[in-house]
């Protein structure tokens, strides 16, 4: 993978702030693209593996510390994993770890389009790798019984309810991410906690309805090896639109600045 470098025009710094143009959490976009992609792959893989492994353990009644995981384990695991990865990788790649974040930033001119394919491919690769590793760790029952933690609507929940739930909560998650990650007054550690809590809250709200994907890489990662594609397009479209809307609202209403076009 070749290196790619990009720097926003210097005159923009005085308008919207130095940190915004250096990516989420102040990470430098003037970096080797291979390093950025590796960080996104690893971070997404750890995030997805943590979430789906917890779901698999609960679905297959695997005893942990004496009893199987309960329903609160998945949002707790997801929130902790995301906070940890943001804290570890935020200043390396921006810790997008989610195609909805990457696309939302790019559409709203806060991330160079040239980087988008590499980030998104890295994130999906991380999600698939996580599902395969969970299959290896938990055995065939993880795939046949728990479907590798793949998301699907609960009984009686149609496509439109799934679309609304995933779109609204992804919108809220991405809004929190950009609000804290683009604010130079908020340290990366504090931003990581806020982002992790936002994911945990989202899973608590719609987990019983849709399985709470909130991330196309988390959705498609387990679906592909488990061969379970229930309403996959609903999840992807809703989450990507939610990500775009989250950044749009931050820029136009909360932050009050429309970034100039990027190369």
Give the pLDDT confidence score for residue 8 in this predicted structure.
41
Give the pLDDT confidence score for residue 256 in this predicted structure.
60
Query: Is residue 204 included in any domain, yes or no?
Result: yes
CA dist 72 and 38 (Å) reads: 31
Give the pLDDT confidence score for residue 152 in this predicted structure.
96
The percent of residues above 90 in pLDDT, for the chain, comes to 76
Query: Is residue 226 included in any domain, yes or no?
Result: yes
241-256 average pLDDT score: 90
Residue range(s) defining the domain that contains residue 199: 25-255
Tell me which range, 1-10, 61-70, 106-115, 250-259, is most confidently predicted by mean pLDDT.
106-115
pLDDT in tens, 12-38: 332 333 334 578 998 888 878 999 999
Residue 145: half-sphere exposure toward Cβ, Cα within 13 Å: 14
3-state secondary structure of 64: strand
254-260 average pLDDT score: 64
Give the pLDDT confidence score for residue 21 in this predicted structure.
52
Give the pLDDT confidence score for residue 127 in this predicted structure.
98
Joined together, the tokens standing for residue 89 give 């990788």
Query: Is residue 124 included in any domain, yes or no?
Result: yes
CA dist 180 and 147 (Å) reads: 34
Give the pLDDT confidence score for residue 64 in this predicted structure.
64
Give the pLDDT confidence score for residue 96 in this predicted structure.
98
Structure confidence at residue 260 as a pLDDT band (50, 70, 90) = low
232-255 average pLDDT score: 94
Structure confidence at residue 4 as a pLDDT band (50, 70, 90) = very low
CA distances from 96 to 83, 121, 140, 164, 213 (A): 12, 12, 31, 22, 15
- Among residues 122, 125, 130, which one has the least CA distance to residue 36? 122
Mean pLDDT of the chain: 88
Q: Name 226's Cβ contacts closer than 8 Å, sequence gap at least 6.
A: 131, 143, 147, 148, 150
61-82 average pLDDT score: 81
- Inter-helix orientation angle 216-226/99-107, to 10°: 140
Give the pLDDT confidence score for residue 28 in this predicted structure.
84
Query: Is residue 36 included in any domain, yes or no?
Result: yes
CA dist 247 and 236 (Å) reads: 17
Structure confidence at residue 68 as a pLDDT band (50, 70, 90) = low
211-235 average pLDDT score: 97
Query: Is residue 18 included in any domain, yes or no?
Result: no
Give how many domains the chain has, as a whole number. 1
The enclosing domain of 127 has a CATH number of 1.20.1080.10
Query: Is residue 14 included in any domain, yes or no?
Result: no
Query: Is residue 7 included in any domain, yes or no?
Result: no
CA dist 40 and 24 (Å) reads: 13
């Amino acid at each position: 993978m070749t290196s790619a470098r990009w720097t926003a025009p210097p005159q923009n710094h005085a308008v919207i702030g130095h940190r915004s143009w250096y990516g989420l959490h102040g990470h430098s976009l003037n970096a080797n693209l291979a390093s950025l992609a590796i960080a996104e792959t690893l971070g997404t893989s750890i995030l997805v593996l943590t979430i789906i492994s917890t779901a698999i353990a609960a679905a297959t009644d695997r005893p942990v510390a004496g009893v199987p995981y309960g329903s609160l384990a998945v949002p707790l695991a997801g929130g902790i994993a995301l906070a940890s990865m943001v804290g570890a990788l935020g200043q390396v790649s921006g810790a997008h770890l989610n195609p909805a974040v990457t696309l939302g930033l790019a559409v709203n001119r806060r991330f160079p389009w040239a980087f988008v394919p590499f980030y998104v491919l890295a994130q999906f690769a991380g999600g698939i790798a996580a599902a395969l590793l969970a299959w290896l760790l938990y055995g065939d029952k993880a795939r046949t019984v728990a479907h590798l933690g793949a998301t699907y609507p609960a009984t009686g929940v149609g496509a439109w309810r799934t679309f609304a739930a995933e779109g609204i909560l992804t919108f809220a998650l991405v809004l929190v991410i950009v609000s804290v990650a683009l604010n130079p007054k908020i340290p990366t550690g504090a931003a990581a906690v806020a982002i992790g809590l936002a994911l945990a809250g989202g899973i608590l709200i719609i987990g019983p309805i849709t399985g709470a994907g909130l991330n196309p890489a988390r959705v498609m990662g387990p679906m592909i090896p488990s061969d379970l594609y229930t309403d996959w397009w609903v999840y992807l479209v809703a989450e990507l639109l939610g990500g775009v809307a989250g950044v749009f609202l931050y820029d136009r209403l909360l932050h009050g600045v429309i970034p100039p076009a990027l190369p």
